[in-house]
Amino acid sequence: MDLRELLSIPYLLEAEAVETEPGQWRVRLAYPELPGCTAEAAVVEDALRDLERRRIELIVKLVEEGKQPPIPRKPLAASDPLWTARDLGLSDRIAALLGAAAPTARN
């Protein structure tokens, strides 16, 4: 399986609201199938963005180390990991690893 396919694998997402102090809440997200892949923020969109960045970085790191990330299900055919990486500010590195130039628009 190549990097594009590995970055297109859908992982289970766990989400919970955590009261850190009386009346103060944060969102905690995790991909439990990817060890250590968690994020926490006051706003769910911020937590999800951080979680996606961590997912991509973890998978790329494992591949660079010659290890295979968990593959609990088949990659999504309609996924565009390069677009996601570009949206998260990781496009240059991911594009180089995928062996393609980052596209200018999502198709």
Q: Report the pLDDT value the prediction gives residue 77, as an integer from 0 to 100.
A: 92
Structure tokens at 75: 């990659």
Q: Which fold has domain 3-98?
A: Double Stranded RNA Binding Domain (3.30.160)
pTM of the model: 0.84
Residue 97: the pLDDT is: 81
Amino acid found at 57 = E
Domain ranges of the chain: 3-98
pLDDT in tens, 57-79: 999 999 999 999 999 999 999 98
- How many angstroms separate the CA atoms of 93 and 102, rounded? 10
More confident site: 79 or 92: 79
**pLDDT per position as a tens digit, 45-60:** 999 999 999 999 999 9
Distance of CA 107 to the CA centre of its chain: 20
pLDDT at residue number 104: 40
Query: What's the rounded Cα separation, in Å, for the pair 6 and 72?
Result: 11
